[in-house]
Amino acid sequence: MSAELIPEAPRHVLVTGASGLLGGAVATLLRAKGHQVRTFQRRASTAATDEVLGSLTDPAAVRRAVRGMDAVIHLAAKVSFTGSWHDFVATNITGTNTLLEAARDAGARDFVFVSSPSVAHFGEPLAGAGAGVADPDRARGNYARSKAAAELNALAQDAPGFRVTAIRPHVVWGPGDTQLVERMIERARDGRLPLLDQGAALIDTTYIDNAAGAIVRGLERMEHAHGRALVVTNGEPRPVGELIAGICRAGGVPAPRLSVPGWLARGAGSVIERLWLAAGSRNLVHDEPPMTKFLAEQLSTAHWFDQRETREVLDWEPSVGLDEGLKRLAAHYGGLGPGNSS
């Protein structure tokens, strides 16, 4: 039997950010594969049997979390379209550095840093692109800039005794997604979800099962993946308007018909973001502004990726196609959007 066919021995794996959709899916998959999983997050989880509560900004809590771990899969991050640079630095950069140091000192051998393709997206269309090099000076928005810096720091730690890889899942969605899917459905229901440039931009997305599978595979294939950054998608680019319509249909709400020029949305997004920060989001109804320059760029420029390197390095392919994912989403909502009832 070849080395690749020998089942991996169970390991002790720390998953940070397991209270989120993707982190929870990663922890569940690891357990299903027989690994001993500890989670590290700020909020208690009813599904976790071994968890450490705390923040990446607390070095003592981080050290408790990594004690006795063989490997770390790091998903915890400040994820937002807006916010102060200081807050992004504290969690995404300094917090990641704290975790890297603690994991290495605790004797962990492998570290999977879950990143984002936005670290190498500089506002221009990406058509069939590779992973690209993370660049905090050119990345758009504080989230992308901070993740770019954190990814570079993480990969710089890659060494024979402490292997590091960066996995960049792109636009992850699926049942239970409160960040993208439910916000999109809510805004479409309220008539606050315009298309940009008729929704023509071609983009890749990643169904939740596929994102979790690729991340776990990054740990299993660390011998081949270490030192690399790999973008993960379904490999099924579609016009953004078609994707939005599919999600809205699954959630039982009408798809948006109003279209706004991309250039206008980008300009408006810059203004809205400044006003939002000046007013303070705590005084407003929603946690996220209705539009930012970064979001407008994401909705109006192509960003889809060549998956050949990712699939070769990880020896992996998506298990759930886009259309099947939309069927599962519709089944989750039972034909009704979140918050509705028959």
Please give the residue that has the higher pLDDT: either 260 or 284: 260
Q: If pLDDT is split at 50, 70 and 90, which confidence band does 265 have?
A: low
pLDDT of residue 262: 63
Domain that residue 75 falls in: 11-170+206-233+304-319
If one counts every other C-beta atom within 10 angstroms of the C-beta of residue 342, the result is 5
pLDDT at residue 6 tops 70? no
Q: How many Cα neighbours within 13 Å face the side chain of 204?
A: 27
Q: What percent of the chain has pLDDT over 70?
A: 83
Q: What is the mean pLDDT of the chain?
A: 87
Q: Is residue 176 included in any domain, yes or no?
A: no
Q: Is residue 53 included in any domain, yes or no?
A: yes
207 is a catalytic site residue: no
C-alpha distances (whole Å) from 328 to each of 168, 321, 335, 339 are 23, 11, 11, 18
Q: Is residue 74 included in any domain, yes or no?
A: yes
Q: Is residue 241 included in any domain, yes or no?
A: no
pLDDT of residue 118: 93
Q: Is residue 257 included in any domain, yes or no?
A: no
Tens of pLDDT, residues 94-133? 999 999 999 999 999 999 999 999 999 888 888 899 999 9
Q: Write the CB contacts of 258 (distance below 8 Å, at least 6 apart in sequence).
A: 191, 194, 195
pLDDT at residue 45 tops 50? yes
C-alpha distances (whole Å) from 56 to each of 2, 149, 231, 246 are 39, 16, 25, 36
Nearest one of 310, 289, 329 to 204, comparing CA atoms? 310
Q: Is residue 331 included in any domain, yes or no?
A: no
Q: Is residue 141 included in any domain, yes or no?
A: yes
pTM: 0.89
pLDDT of residue 277: 61
Tens of pLDDT, residues 290-311? 656 566 676 778 889 999 999 9
The two structure tokens encoding residue 114: 């879950």
pLDDT of residue 62: 97
Tens of pLDDT, residues 200-225? 889 999 999 999 999 999 999 999 99
Total count of domains within the chain? 1
Please give the residue that has the higher pLDDT: either 64 or 299: 64
pLDDT of residue 82: 75
Q: Write the CB contacts of 190 (distance below 8 Å, at least 6 apart in sequence).
A: none
Determine which one of 81, 88, 143, 304 is catalytic.
143
Q: Is residue 20 included in any domain, yes or no?
A: yes
C-beta separation of 50 from 14 below 8 A: no
Please give the residue that has the higher pLDDT: either 335 or 91: 91
pLDDT at residue 289 tops 80? no
Q: What is the CATH number of the domain that holds 77?
A: 3.40.50.720
pLDDT of residue 271: 60
pLDDT of residue 3: 42
pLDDT of residue 286: 47
pLDDT of residue 259: 76
